[in-house]
Amino acid sequence: MSPIVSIIMGSTSDLPVMEKAAQLLNDLHVPFEMNALSAHRTPEAVEEFAKGARKRGIKVIIAAAGMAAALPGVIAANTTLPVIGVPIKGSVLDGVDALYSIIQMPPGIPVATVAINGAMNAAILAVQMLTLSDKELAEAFTAYKEGLKKKIVKANEDLKEVKYEYKTN
């Protein structure tokens, strides 16, 4: 099956973060592709990717970048598809620099942005967009959300069984 979501990262060093998005998409049987492209080192390839994504069947792009975080914005400037930005935690400013770079897009070039290293939420947002036109995926996603609720209910029940003693000095 052809990919409908594209996960793009500025460097393969972002892979440990972005694997969480890939895993969720895989679990929900959403076909996706994953590539490393740099807005600064391979600008022509980024432009070509963005301009051709819709023709290739891509419906949502998840773009991760750290530091200057130009990748999501450059992709958004070259496509009409929704772009979700994932700021990656860097070594100097802990990803705040990437967060600010991604959320401060000019009018007409929006990039939906999730938390620093928030790849899982980026995948969830992509799936929510796709469920608008895919009933089967909507049902699978509803089951996923119910599973999240059940995990919390069970965790709360498990906590009630644990006996804690409060000690004073």
Residue ranges of the binding site: 11, 14, 41
Residue with token string 């972002």: 14
DSSP-derived letter for residue 110 is: -
∠ CA 75-101-33, rounded to 5°: 35
**Binding annotation for substrate:** 11, 14, 41
d(CA 98, CA 8): 15
Segment holding 6, helix H or strand E: strand 5-9
Look at strands 5-9 and 60-66 and give their pairing: parallel
Name the burial class of residue 74, with classes exposed (0-12), middle (13-18) and buried (19+) by CB atoms within 10 angstroms of its CB.
buried
